[in-house]
Amino acid sequence: MTQTMLNLHEMEISFGPQHPSTHGVLRVMVKIDGERIVDAKPIIGYLHRGTEKLFEAMNYPQCVPHTDRMDYVASATNNQGFVGAVEKLLGLTEQIPRRAKIIRVMLAELQRISSHLLWLATHAIDLGAMTPFFYTFRERELILDLFEDYCGARLTLNCMRIGGQADDIDAAWIQKLNDFLGIFDAALDEYESLLTMNRIWRKRTIGIGVIAPDDAIDWGLTGPPLRGSGIEWDIRRAFPYEVYSELKFEIPVGRNGDTYDRYLCRMEEMRQSKKILEQCISMIAETKEGDLKAKVSRVIRPPEGEAYFSVECPKGELGYYIISDGKNQNAYRCHVRPPSFVNLSALPDLVKGHLVADMVAVIGTIDIVLGEVDR
């Protein structure tokens, strides 16, 4: 009633680089009017390490451990993208032995499950549900143990080589994988029992961060943010690589394009990954053990040219664009098309009009990893 002396400007808050919910060092300058967000401006670059410049200074085989570190949560798919791009330049794609291709698919799908488990853990804990964090990390430990048995490292795998694979899998590893898949369905049901029908979860995620399909395409979204809006598009179907053309799996698609649909998409993707792994286990029994590498010289010097190769990483479409000048052993230019970078650029559109607490939900649902955003 009475005029207050308060300035009725919008307040600008720095959702700062040090924040437990931003999944890394992300800064968002948020303009709020009361509790409603008027505008949000992400500021990135805190984790920029100059990876693309480093790629120009190293040989192709030496670049592979560096690709691990971009999306450090899902490093097998990073490796797969880089190695696939170099093989495309060299013309080796058909000569990779079948066993190596199947192993790559298995690692990529395991990595997808592991990345989605971590996404679920952090997304849930950001929104207040602290329990799934512990349960998902318990299953994730089993996956990391599988990786450790395969290549020796748990997080930054460096598991793929140009021309094939370096390590082979044996019956013990497959047995361990089967044990994991045996308990995985029950574990997923457990997480769903905590979240999917929970009214608190639904209230916090339905209707939040809605994006229409045409906007999603215009903003260049890929992965679950695009599929949550109803567009059925997956690199594994559109441009099949490795043995994906032979595998039977479905692509989960949402209807409304909100946070809840993206959550359901990712849960279903984990189940589909389990199906893919089961098919791979039966496929690999028919291949010859030890046949893991195509004939590629020790010195990798692709001919002059450029190639773009993309893989479906858990966050979206991860693409590598490599230009080779034909004379050196290192790339002339290696550009990475990071899905988190592109998905994050749509953040202002996704949060306008929501409350400040929904900003956390939206950042969690886009599933960014700052190592990939900043490279």
Partner 1 sequence: MADEQEQKPAAKPAPAPAAPLARTKDEVLADPIVAPVTSAMAGAFLHAKEQVGEISLYVTPDAIVEVCRAFKAHGFTYLVDLCGVDYSTFPGHAGERFCVNYLLYSFKQNVRIRLKLFVAEGVSVRSVTGVWKTANWHERETFDMFGIPFTGHPNLERILMWEGFNGHPLRKDFPIRGIDTGARIYPEVFPPGGGPMPGSTGKAHGDVNIWKGPAVPLGRSPKGEVPETKQVEAPQGGDEGKADA
Partner 2 sequence: MLVEAPKTTWTDRILLIDLFVGLRTTFRELFFRKKVTVEYPEHRLPTADKFRGMFRFSYERCIACKICAMSCPIDIIYIDVGEETKEVDGKKKKIKVLERYDIDVKRCMFCGLCEESCPTKPKSIWLTTGTYELTSYDRNELYMNMQQLEYWEGRPEYATLEEIAEEQGISDKKKLPAGGGTK
Q: Which residues make up the interface to partner 2 (CB under 8 A)?
A: 58-59, 61-63, 65-66, 131, 135, 138, 141, 145, 148-153, 156, 158, 166-167, 190, 193-199, 202, 250-255, 260-261, 264-265, 267-268
352 binds, among partner 2, partner 1, none (CB under 5 to 8 A by kind): none
131 binds, among partner 1, partner 2, none (CB under 5 to 8 A by kind): partner 2
Structure tokens at 151: 């290549």
Q: Which of residues 280-299 bind partner 1 (CB under 8 A)?
A: 294-296
Q: CA 59 → CA 157, 271, 321, distances in Å?
A: 18, 38, 16
How many residues make contact with partner 1 (CB under 8 A)? 53
* Four-residue CA torsion sign, 305, 311, 315, 316: positive
Supply the minimum distance, in Å, between the C-beta of residue 26 and partner 2.
24
75/303 Cα distance (integer angstroms): 27
Neighbours of 275 (CB within 10 A): 15
347/356 Cα distance (integer angstroms): 13
- Which residues are bridge partners to 308 per DSSP? 321
Which of 144, 323, 355, 356 contacts partner 1 by CB under 8 A?
A: 323
Distance of CA 85 to the CA centre of its chain: 18
Q: Are 255 and 332 a contacting pair, CB within 8 Å?
A: no
190 binds, among partner 1, partner 2, none (CB under 5 to 8 A by kind): partner 2
Q: Nearer Cβ to partner 2, position 62 or 175?
A: 62
Q: Nearer Cβ to partner 1, position 64 or 342?
A: 342
**3-state secondary structure at position 41:** strand
DSSP 245: G
Supply the minimum distance, in Å, between the C-beta of residue 5 and partner 2.
45
Residues 6+ apart with CB under 8 A from 228: 253, 254, 256, 257, 258, 261, 262, 265
Buried b (16+ CB within 10 A) or exposed e, 324-356: beeeeebbeebbbbbbbbbbbbbbbbbbeebeb
Q: Is 317 in the site for partner 1 (CB under 8 A)?
A: yes
Residue (of 158, 10, 187, 162) closest to 76 by Cα position: 158
234/247 Cα distance (integer angstroms): 14
Supply the minimum distance, in Å, between the C-beta of residue 165 and partner 2.
12
Q: Nearer Cβ to partner 2, position 43 or 267?
A: 267
Q: Nearer Cβ to partner 1, position 196 or 345?
A: 345
62 binds, among partner 2, partner 1, none (CB under 5 to 8 A by kind): partner 2
Supply the minimum distance, in Å, between the C-beta of residue 369 and partner 1.
15
Q: Which of residues 34-93 bind partner 1 (CB under 8 A)?
A: 44-45, 48, 50, 52-54, 56-57, 88-92
- Binding-site ranges for partner 1 (CB under 8 A): 44-45, 48, 50, 52-54, 56-57, 88-92, 95, 215, 217-220, 231, 233, 238-239, 294-296, 301-308, 310, 317, 319, 321, 323, 325-327, 332-333, 335, 337, 341-342, 345-346, 374-375
